[in-house]
Structure 1
Amino acid sequence: MREMSVVGVRVELPANQPIVLLTEVEGEKFLPIWIGSAEASAIAYEQQGIKPPRPLTHDLLVNVIEALGSKLERVRITGMKDGLYFAELDLQNAEPVTVRPSDGIALALRTGAPILADDDLVSEAGITIDEATNSGDGEGSEDEVEKFREFLDNVTPEDFAGGS
């Protein structure tokens, strides 16, 4: 498993399909995952520090996990089949819980839990954004987000359908 961090969320045009982009903590691969708009909002809100007046669904789930005396230890993105990603939540003193990766990412951001992705998945579905799009020093999340935006100008969901 490889530890991943969230670069950000963007809407792919013209289909208006949200995408969350993960990047290896120690590596150069990026993992784009097409997600729903509610999950995109939940991820973006947490990244931007926006706290709604009442808990969103992901906030509620974190509260329930804590109320039950458990905690989210990690989110594992375990694989992909037919273009759909699969993930599991590892909770303290509990069996793994199957979850959509986008929901797992939203929960991980709220709890500080690490996000891990299967080595084979990152090798097969991960991408390396061409260094030619790098604007210079290669440091900081702004450069990564800009590379992500440039990459999205030409990407389609079929590019990640797990072909050979």
Structure 2
Amino acid sequence: MIPVRIAGLALDARQQPVVILKPLDEDLGHGRILPIWIGGLEAAAILKGADDTPPPRPLTLDLMRSMLEALDAEVERIAVTRIDDGTFYAEITLNTPLGDRVLDARPSDAIGLSLRTGSVIWVAEDVLDQAGIADEREEQVDEEEEVKAFSEFLEHVDPEDFQG
């Protein structure tokens, strides 16, 4: 397993949200990145998790964090474990009073929960080998502009845009 960070949240050429993960020990423009396509609502949840402003009412991932705290459980590990036919799979390992529990999760939900709990995200090495691409970025992306553009997209998106 390789520890990663969220290197960005972007829109591809078809306006589909992509979360980009990058190994912690690699610098910008070197090594690999792992793009994972997600839904618009999931991207909004990740974006909200990166924002320090609490929502007026708990969102689903905020509720999950509160439930874990109420049950004396904590997130031990977030891991993107495999890719099968283009679909990524993740697991959330919880440390509970009854012992460790491993839950199947969508990567977008696991990543969003990691932001809310401060948990490190891990990616299986074979997933990075199979789906990672060369990081050829030459200059630092202006995160504030990227977040602003993505937020504008989310304000105008219609859930029907994501139906098959």
Name the TM-score, length of structure 2 as normaliser: 0.78
Q: Where does 1:83-122 land on structure 2 (aligned, <5 Å)?
A: 83-92=86-95, 93-122=99-128
Deviation track 1:31-52 (CA, whole Å, cap 9, x = no partner) reads 0000111110011112232321
Q: In structure 2, what is the equivalent of residue 4 of structure 1?
A: 4
Gaps of 5+ in 2: 147-164
Which one-letter code corresponds to 2:123 in the other structure? A
1:110 to 1:48, Cα distance in 2 relative to 1, 3 A: same
Which one-letter code corresponds to 1:129 in the other structure? D
* SS of match in other structure, 1:105: helix
Aligned length: 138
Partner Cα distance (1:119, 1:111) in 2: 23
* SS of match in other structure, 1:6: strand
Say whether residues 1:124 and 2:123 are aligned partners. Answer: no
Q: Where does 1:4-153 land on structure 2 (aligned, <5 Å)?
A: 4-14=4-14, 16-27=15-26, 28-92=31-95, 93-130=99-136, 133-135=137-139, 142=142
Which one-letter code corresponds to 1:63 in the other structure? S
User: Could you tell me the percent identity over the aligned residues?
Assistant: 37
Which one-letter code corresponds to 2:126 in the other structure? D
Deviation track 1:74-101 (CA, whole Å, cap 9, x = no partner) reads 1010010010000000100232000000
* SS of match in other structure, 2:80: strand
Which one-letter code corresponds to 1:88 in the other structure? E
* SS of match in other structure, 1:32: strand
1:141 to 1:4, Cα distance in 2 relative to 1, 3 A: farther
Larger RCO (CA within 8 A; separation ≥ 6): 2
Which one-letter code corresponds to 2:91 in the other structure? E
Which one-letter code corresponds to 1:20 in the other structure? V
Which one-letter code corresponds to 1:94 in the other structure? D
Which one-letter code corresponds to 2:9 in the other structure? V
Partner Cα distance (1:141, 1:59) in 2: 28
User: Following superposition, which runs of at least 4 residues in structure 1 exceed 3 angstroms of deviation?
Assistant: 140-143
Deviation track 1:94-150 (CA, whole Å, cap 9, x = no partner) reads 3200000000000000000010000111112111122xx413xxxx6649x98xxxx
Which one-letter code corresponds to 2:86 in the other structure? G
Gaps of 5+ in 1: 147-164
Name the TM-score, length of structure 1 as normaliser: 0.78
